Chain A
Amino acid sequence: MSVIEIKNVTKVFGPYTKEVEELLHKNKSKNEILSETGSTVAVKSANLTIEKSEVFVVMGLSGSGKSTLIRLINRLIDPTSGDLMIKGKNVSKLSTAELREFRRKNFSMVFQSFALFPFKSVLDNTAFGLEVRNMPKKERLKKAEHALKLVGLDGYKNQKPNQLSGGMQQRVGLARALANDTDILLMDEAFSALDPLIRKEMQNELIQLQQKMQKTIVFITHDLDEALSIGDRIALMKDGEIAQVGTPEEIVTNPENDYVKAFVKDIDRSKVLKVKHVMRPANSQENTDANPVIASEDLLYKSYDSFKNGIRELTVKDGGKVVGIVEFDKVFEVLAVGNEVEEDAR
């Protein structure tokens, strides 16, 4: 059973008139509908299925409808039409009280500009979700402290948010979400406001945490590198529509339409694809001991060195365990195919 299913969901800002409905029916684009009616189609007939424990990235340019989409999932924004299933239950129509309960039980959200409460200490901020659920003080502070430890901030619990750097503030935002202990984590451009180095660090940390936590994460970003580095699967959005859904490898090596093609054409695949994206499972009879070893989270270019001296196969390990084999031919194919320099164009 999928954790999140978005079925034909549309969100229109502004009047939803008969005219808008008809234009949508005729599959007119967001811009056409805007200029003809003045209403903004933020999300248009979106269909997505998000599985348990995957990191699902929604990526697209500013204004493409990412924030609206993620808010449709926890119903901060009500859909204009379509259905939303969470863990198999249709939640498109809930009463106000049911909606609250539904949010408390299922979701924690992390925001772009952190959205911490300036008058609360780091610890109390972290405990907010539990406080809302009326958990006794001692218990919730204990959980909050544990969450702060997870993000490496237990020494700062008595500070106010504005005494921390941006990166640390977002760790608090993450801790607040983790303390809540829900199995779905919604992150709207959570790292976009951070400096590039801090950002990379946070991405790596999220990946590491996720290996332990196994939550279902919906992560919004406008940055392709970020999408490729943390996503198990990626949905590309354009003008409210979902242009393609696929694994990082599929998106990069097999763009389905011109928009996605344009998006990925200039990237250096060896620096965004990871070993795990191109490896194949090892079968039990194979002797993997002789091969050089590479980590599954390593970027592909890291394999170049090991492929020297005619070696054709590397053993992929994740945390000491063999998880697959990566072959030279496959690496070559992934990096080269569809990426050839066109003679005429040069």
Chain B
Amino acid sequence: MLDNIPRLPLSEWTTEFVRWITSAFSFIFDPINNYLGTLMNWIITGLEFIPPVLFIIIIMALSAIFMKKKVLSPILIGIGLLFIYNQGLWENLIDTMTLVIISGLISIVIGVPLGILMSRSNTFEMLMKPILDLMQTMPAFVYLIPAVAFFGIGMVPGVFASVIFASPPTIRLTNLGIRQISEELIEASDSFGTTPMQKLLKVQLPLARPSIMAGINQTIMLALSMVVIASMIGAPGLGTEVLSSLQRAQVGPGFVAGLGIVILAIIIDRFTQTSNSNK
């Protein structure tokens, strides 16, 4: 009996929809693809231009500044980076790092304002919640398909897919952080006659900061995991090594590249977490 109901043509609709968006909005996608692609190539060229030794020292110095009082972290970070260089994965590292940083930045630039809007309107929050759930539970691979449709293959579609996959935690935790502020502090702000902008900048965002930073940390970690997957659509980096090892069933190189990703993940995590805890 159930077989008598014709199949809902959802997949056809989706295909048509994406095709329509692709052609209708190519005037947006194409310049994004060009400019962002060029920008990222510049960044990568620039970073590769720095001698690896100097690069490692700079990262170690930065980590020493950020993570006050801890001597061990910079040393471990240095050792990790040296290992990646030693394994001949330096250029892959730079590619991945650039992709993560760009995806992370875009996610934050989009995510924080969306989170703020959500905290201000219950209707908008109700609307966004299921969308965010969908964005996060959809298998990450699925985002690669429209990404390719919009931007072809390469770095930019990788960034696009990462932003979609990685921005929900920032949006959510910005919203939550602002909503969790105690009523009395908001009243205190109002009672002194703050404008909505003053309240946001001087009271809400600073008070929600730990929560927002936790969101950003998660976003960047998700961006990293997506950037690795995006190697399937031609985003260069450590993921490419993993993918080609997988295709050739080479355990050794796959493991080494995987280790490189782990090291990068730890380094990024350290950085985003300490900037969270130091007030």
Q: Which residues of A contact B (CB under 8 A)?
A: 71, 74, 76, 99-104, 107-109, 111-113, 115, 117-119, 128-129, 131-133, 180, 186
Contact = CB atoms under 8 A, between A and B. Distances in A.
Given A76-B190, A133-B193, A119 B184 contact: no
A326 B14 CA distance: 91
15 contacts: A71-B187, A76-B187, A100-B193, A101-B193, A107-B191, A108-B192, A113-B182, A113-B184, A115-B182, A117-B206, A119-B209, A129-B192, A131-B202, A132-B193, A186-B191
Scoring A101, A119, A131 by chain B CB atoms within 10 A of each residue's CB, the highest score goes to: A119
Given A101-B193, A132-B193, A119 B188 contact: no
A115 B187 contact: yes
A186 B198 CA distance: 22
A111 B184 contact: yes
Scoring B185, B193, B195, B202 by chain A CB atoms within 10 A of each residue's CB, the highest score goes to: B193
A341 B279 CA distance: 63
A76 to B, nearest CB: 6
Given A111-B184, A131-B202, A103 B192 contact: yes
B203 interface: yes
Contact of B184 (A107, A112, A118, A133): A112
Closest CB pairs A-B (n = 4) = A104-B193, A115-B188, A103-B193, A109-B191
Interface in B177-232: 182, 184-185, 187-188, 190-195, 198, 202-203, 206-207, 209
B184 A132 contact: no
Contacts of A112: 184
A101 B25 CA distance: 46
Given A99-B193, A112-B184, 19 more contacts: A74-B191, A76-B190, A76-B191, A100-B194, A102-B193, A103-B190, A111-B188, A115-B185, A115-B187, A117-B188, A117-B206, A119-B206, A119-B279, A128-B202, A129-B193, A131-B202, A132-B198, A132-B202, A180-B192
A125 B193 CA distance: 15
A contact face: mostly helix, strand, loop, or mixed: mixed
Contacts of A113: 182, 184
Contacts of A102: 193
Contacts of A119: 206-207, 209, 279
Nearest to A102: B193
A117 B192 contact: no
Contacts of B184: 111-113, 115
A108 B184 CA distance: 14
B193 A117 contact: no
A117 B185 contact: yes
Contact of B207 (A107, A117, A180): A117
A99 B194 CA distance: 10
Nearest to B186: A115
A160 to B, nearest CB: 8
Contact of B192 (A99, A118, A132): A132
B207 to A, nearest CB: 7
Scoring B188, B191, B202, B209 by chain A CB atoms within 10 A of each residue's CB, the highest score goes to: B191
Given A111-B188, A112-B184, A132 B206 contact: no
A138 B193 CA distance: 21
A104 to B, nearest CB: 4
A167 B144 CA distance: 58
Nearest to A109: B191
A131 B199 CA distance: 12
B77 to A, nearest CB: 29
Contacts of A103: 190-193
A119 B279 CA distance: 8
B203 A117 contact: yes
Contacts of B192: 103-104, 108-109, 128-129, 132, 180
